[in-house]
Amino acid sequence: MSIWSILKNCIGKELSKITMPVVFNEPLTMLQRACEGLQYSNYLVMADSSDNPIERMEYVCAFIIAALSGNSLRIVKPFNPLLYETFEIEHDLEDGTRVKGIAQQVSHHPPITAAYAESNSFSYSGVINPKIKFWGRSVDISHDGVCKIHLKRHNESYIFKAVPCSIHNIIVGKLWFEHNGSLDIKCSESNLQTNLTFKQAGWFSSDLHRFDGFISSGLDPKNSRKLRFVYGKWTSYIKSVEYSIYENYMKENQNKLFRIPDDPDQGSDGVVGDIKNMNITSSINNNSIGSNDLQSNHKGGLQASSSKSGDKKQFTKSESSQSLDIPNSKTIWRLETQFFSEYYYFSPFTMKLNELTPHLAKTLPRTDSRFRPDVRKLEEGDLDGAANEKHRLEERQREIRCKDKRFKEPSPDFLWFETQEVSSMKEKHYVYKGGYWENKCNTEKFPDLF
């Protein structure tokens, strides 16, 4: 089925209200996607145990950016949760720390997902309020929701918003995904902020998946002082270096274009490879290809010309500059998990999110996403059954909305979150109000959704 046949009449419109065929879904809900990043909770534990405020900010960056790493190849969308639908997660880290979390759909129109997680070291609350628009050749997704990380030992809060993203080649060609835009993290208690820019690929792939920016002291841009330069690829690694080293390095290499290396272990001497033997990596399909292949390769947006002059190859300006890395940089995070193409490019952690064991079936409330029949049938490969169940649930929700006023406007009777104003942010933030784990066996607290 062509996605163009669905979206051609939606140019410039908000897509959150458009019903998409089940073939464009992955067997997870947005609630489960909201909890997926908790697999990197160890970085928040490390942040809370650190006595260095700059290092704490680096680990917070690692948690946020590492959680994006599974997005690059997943171009299908999760199922939209029903109002009051929940998802519960418990995750044990290698050091024995237990992280437990809850996500709930707190609004139907507009669709808003609220999530909360906690351990002995930190608490995390996030709101997913996506704005999705179609522009002909691409779909742009921005986020109005606010996220907050609280480190308990230091009593510090880190406020940020999710990074915007885009899906390209909607009409023709291979669909591909990128994060582009800014990530701003502020901590008023430590008086530190991070400002990162996620590069837009454009016609060339040299900037695809790359980001860089600074950790600065002072929340006022006019009086802030840069402390660390942070850079990397959100699909594979994050590095950090002192700002003075970065500044001196850029002065010494004024005639060289700084390009973030593909591999975190490359460039300890400041240079990654050389022009004569350099291979260009297609970040779209993660296959290393030589320059002779680039003119005919349209999937990754790469363009380069090659002509034999002795043994040397000629590259376009975008690719001819040597890939440079800054000496004395430290790697904060590097990708170690694996994504399986035959399973929607899920990681092993992601595959567990929809697992329903006999024990869980007895202890979870009936609103949990694991009980959704349409998601379960899609996971089993029954497309027709998934489509029928998806249609049944949508019709059932419309009927309930007409009969029960608690489904027209979200009722606090069924919500485990409440709105709260956040300083320095215009948006309202949903915070966990407590009581879910104490009442999850009380069926009166959880409506019959499925």
Nearest alpha carbon to residue 349 among 357, 362, 340: 340
pTM score: 0.82
Q: How far apart are CA 161 and CA 145, in angstroms?
A: 6
DSSP letter, residue 263: S
Sequence-ordered strand ranges (E) for 298-447 = 323-324, 330-334, 417-421, 428-432
12 within some domain: yes
Using alpha carbons, list the distances in angstroms from residue 246 to 65, 71, 192, 202: 21, 29, 19, 26
Burial of 319: CB neighbours in 10 Å, binned 0-12, 13-18, 19+: buried
Tens of pLDDT, residue by residue, the chain (450 residues): 566 666 655 555 555 555 677 888 999 999 999 999 999 999 999 999 999 999 999 999 999 999 999 898 888 889 999 999 999 999 999 999 999 999 999 998 888 999 999 999 999 999 998 888 877 778 888 888 889 999 999 999 999 999 998 888 877 778 888 888 899 999 999 999 999 999 887 655 567 889 999 999 998 878 889 999 999 999 999 999 999 999 998 888 876 666 677 776 654 333 333 322 323 233 333 332 222 332 333 333 323 333 333 333 332 222 322 345 788 999 999 999 999 999 999 999 999 999 999 999 999 999 999 999 999 999 999 999 999 999 999 889 888 888 888 888 888 989 999 988 766 566 678 999 999 999 999 999 999 999
SS3 431: strand
45 within some domain: yes
257 within some domain: no
Amino acid occupying residue 322: Q
Which domain, by its residues, includes 351? 1-171+336-450
103 within some domain: yes
> Beta partners for 331?
239
Nearest alpha carbon to residue 89 among 28, 161, 145, 143: 28
SS3 341: helix
pLDDT of residue 269: 35
16 within some domain: yes
Chain center to CA of 203: 23
Residues in CB range of 431: below 8 A, 6 or more apart: 116, 125, 417, 418, 419, 420
| Residue 13 CB coordination number (10 Å) | 13
116 within some domain: yes
Tell whether omega for the bond before 264 is within 30 degrees of 0, i.e. cis: no
Q: Name the pairing type of β-strands 25-29 and 77-79.
A: parallel
238 within some domain: no
Q: CA torsion, points 248, 254, 259, 260, in degrees to nearest 10?
A: 0
Q: 283-314 burial string, b = 16+ CB within 10 Å, else e? A: bbeeeeeebebbeebeebbbebeeeeeeeebe
DSSP letter, residue 340: B
* Inter-helix orientation angle 42-49/53-66, to 10°: 170
213 within some domain: no
Into how many domains does the chain fold? 1
Sequence-ordered strand ranges (E) for 121-263 = 122-128, 130-134, 138-143, 146-151, 156-161, 165-168, 176-179, 181-187, 192-198, 210-217, 225-233, 237-242
Q: What's the half-sphere exposure (Cβ side, CA atoms, 13 Å) at 151?
A: 27
Whether residue 304 contacts residue 264, with contact meaning beta carbons closer than 8 Å, is answered with no
Nearest alpha carbon to residue 33 among 80, 95, 100, 83: 80
